[in-house]
Structure 1
Amino acid sequence: MKKPRPPWLLVLAVLALHLLLGREVQRIHEGWVSEGPPPMAPRMQVEFVREMVLQAPPMTVRTLPPPPKRVVKAEAALAAPEPASVPEPLALPSTPEPVAQAPSAPAEEAPVPVAQAASAAPGDEPGPEWPLSTRLTYVLTGNYRGPVHGEAQVEWLRKGSDYQVHLDVNVGPSFAPFITRRMSSQGQLTPEGIAPQRYDEETRFIVGDGRRASVFFLPTEVQLASGVRQPAQRGAQDSASQFVQLTWLFLTGRAVLEPGRVVSFPLVLPNRQYPQWDYEVIGEEWVETGTGWVPAWHLKPRGSTKGDDMTAEVWLAPGMQYLPVRLVIRQDASTYVDLMLKSAPLQAAPESTNDIPRRLSP
């Protein structure tokens, strides 16, 4: 006959089992936390085959005076002929037939909401109003605890109704930047413009840990980087998609470019939503890019931000399909980066005959 085991042995066995289970649960939880959100879809593979040529835009009023002249020192003026020191504006082709212009309205008119825009392309497939896949490269200057220099790149990628926007910023030398930031948006092209599904922002430093934030656009909610869910706003854009949405609005004539006009849409940043984000059209200006002087419309955000949210001024060039030739991204008065177009944008070949650019009526 076996001798019965003391009850305390059974208690120790149960405690040991609970301890092992607790450690396993903690390990799994730590794994989830360290892994963070699921990875983004792979970057679309696009072959850029040609440089974009400055074109006569479908709708524009060319009232700008000639571009300004550079200030040249006397020694330089003697060493080189004067024309070499005065950049010429890029030549435009002959002006096409006039296109019906949207009726003008007073500057104090209510902002133009994106959600009320009508579609210019039948069905769900994107039409020729969407730019082909395009890569833009920029020279970076600015201030972050002192003057900074670097480079940046924007890629607008699309296949069918799927899109991606990637903004890569490198502060410091290209071989070892001090700070790198990637802002990526992916989603769908719809009759009401861009519909983001996910936004990712990753910042890395040459020393120390980096930061990553993700925003998810769900059918009826938006999940912020903190995990908090809030009701979704119709027509909302993220930090990267907003610039292409502006391009689409002006390229198709859904929004009128006129000093004093305001264009509005909801904006979702990693930490909060802004139900109405306003861009005021300041006016048309000459922008000195790496390809020469380019006329562009200057848009500036109105209102104030919260916390460390950043704002961006943008210059959209009608002759380059209203793509941004300059961006000034600010965190505060003394922290900003200024991105100036370095070279002619590169574009992919059309996917189909529907992608061949043509002039559109508003």
Structure 2
Amino acid sequence: MRSNLLKGAVLALVLASHAGAHAAAPKRAVEPPPSADLAYELNAQHRGFGLKGEALIAWRGGDGKYEVNVEASTPLLGKLTEYRSQGTVDGFGLAPAEFYEKRYRKDATTTVFKRDANTITFTDGKEPVALKGGEQDRASVTWQLASVARAAGEARFKPGSEWSFVVAGRRDVAPWTFKVVKKEKIQTAMGELDTLMVTREPRGEGRSEGVDIWLAPGQEWYPVKLRFRDDERETIEQTVTKITRK
């Protein structure tokens, strides 16, 4: 009995030490996009070499649940990235249960959102982190952003506005802030699309990773173009070629 009490006390202290690492995400109205498969042409820079390939995103939402599967590959290197996220929809929006990530030449990792224990655990992390509500993962956050944008509409989701989220990755949780930069017409295999470009700049001095997302209001606010920037020599850009509603 005393051993169990001691273990419980230690766990409580661990969670308390991490509790201040991040605040709960803000609650906003959300309107998840309809289920769809999105195909993209891919252009990547890998260690100074240009590569072409394809990316696929399978988004499913409905009945209080969601699932998103993301794959990007090139003929030369094969699969570059694979992300999977699944969970429910609650008062904060998308509520991940599990996030799987596999990057080229790196071991796969799994991040688990244990809502019964109010903790987030990481394959690469040493300690669990307190689950405070509204946290996203690196696959779900794009769709949470689209869901928030659909609910807000262009009157509020406009250039100059900023939208903050809390995002769990391979080993920790961090705040991500997206800024709506501008309205932009982009050329795609589907023709010219009107979009809003949203960017998340690197956090911290000396960090260079970031992401740019082009959401198309006329296409259910789907992400029709994405650019991932790991550093000056590592980028993946994907532009939509086809959207198939499910």
Q: TM-score, normalised by structure 2?
A: 0.81
- Structure possessing the higher radius of gyration over alpha carbons: 1
Structure 1 unaligned segments of length 5 or more: list them. Answer: 1-112, 120-128, 349-362
Quick check: 1:330–1:336 contact (8 Å CA) kept in 2?
Answer: yes
**Which amino acid in the other structure matches residue 198 of structure 2?**
L
**Which of the residues 162, 182, 187 maps onto 1:288?**
187
Distance in 1, Cα, partners of 2:232 & 2:132:
30
The 3-state SS of whatever aligns with 1:226 is: coil
**Which of the residues 86, 92, 97 maps onto 1:192?**
92
The 3-state SS of whatever aligns with 1:132 is: coil
The 3-state SS of whatever aligns with 1:211 is: coil
Structure 2 unaligned segments of length 5 or more: list them. Answer: 1-23
Distance in 2, Cα, partners of 1:287 & 1:141:
15
Q: Which has the higher strand share?
A: 2
| Aligned residue in 2 for 1:347 | 245
Distance in 1, Cα, partners of 2:93 & 2:104:
31
The answer to whether residue 49 in structure 2 is matched with residue 142 in structure 1 is: no
**Which amino acid in the other structure matches residue 116 of structure 1?**
K
Deviations 1:85-126 (A, max 9, x none): xxxxxxxxxxxxxxxxxxxxxxxxxxxx9522247xxxxxxx
| Aligned residue in 2 for 1:225 | 123
| Aligned residue in 1 for 2:34 | 132
Distance in 2, Cα, partners of 1:203 & 1:253:
33
CA positional deviation for 1:191: 3.0
Quick check: 2:185–2:194 contact (8 Å CA) kept in 1?
Answer: yes
The 3-state SS of whatever aligns with 2:180 is: strand
Seen in structure 2, the aligned counterparts of structure 1 residues 297 and 245 have a Cα distance that, compared at 3 Å, is same
What RMSD over aligned residues (CA atoms) do the two structures have, in Å? 2.3
| Aligned residue in 2 for 1:265 | 165
| Aligned residue in 1 for 2:54 | 151
> Percent identity of the aligned residues?
23
Distance in 2, Cα, partners of 1:130 & 1:304:
27
Matched pairs, number: 218
CA positional deviation for 1:223: 0.6
CA positional deviation for 1:204: 4.8
**Which amino acid in the other structure matches residue 323 of structure 1?**
Y
**Which amino acid in the other structure matches residue 211 of structure 1?**
D
Distance in 2, Cα, partners of 1:186 & 1:163:
6
The 3-state SS of whatever aligns with 2:108 is: strand
**Which of the residues 50, 63, 66 maps onto 1:163?**
66
Distance in 2, Cα, partners of 1:213 & 1:292:
37
Quick check: 1:234–1:266 contact (8 Å CA) kept in 2?
Answer: no
User: 4+ runs of 1 displaced by more than 4 Å?
Assistant: 305-310
Seen in structure 2, the aligned counterparts of structure 1 residues 302 and 181 have a Cα distance that, compared at 3 Å, is closer
CA positional deviation for 1:296: 0.4
| Aligned residue in 2 for 1:277 | 176
Quick check: 1:269–1:309 contact (8 Å CA) kept in 2?
Answer: no
Distance in 1, Cα, partners of 2:205 & 2:107:
19
The 3-state SS of whatever aligns with 1:154 is: strand
Quick check: 2:208–2:232 contact (8 Å CA) kept in 1?
Answer: no
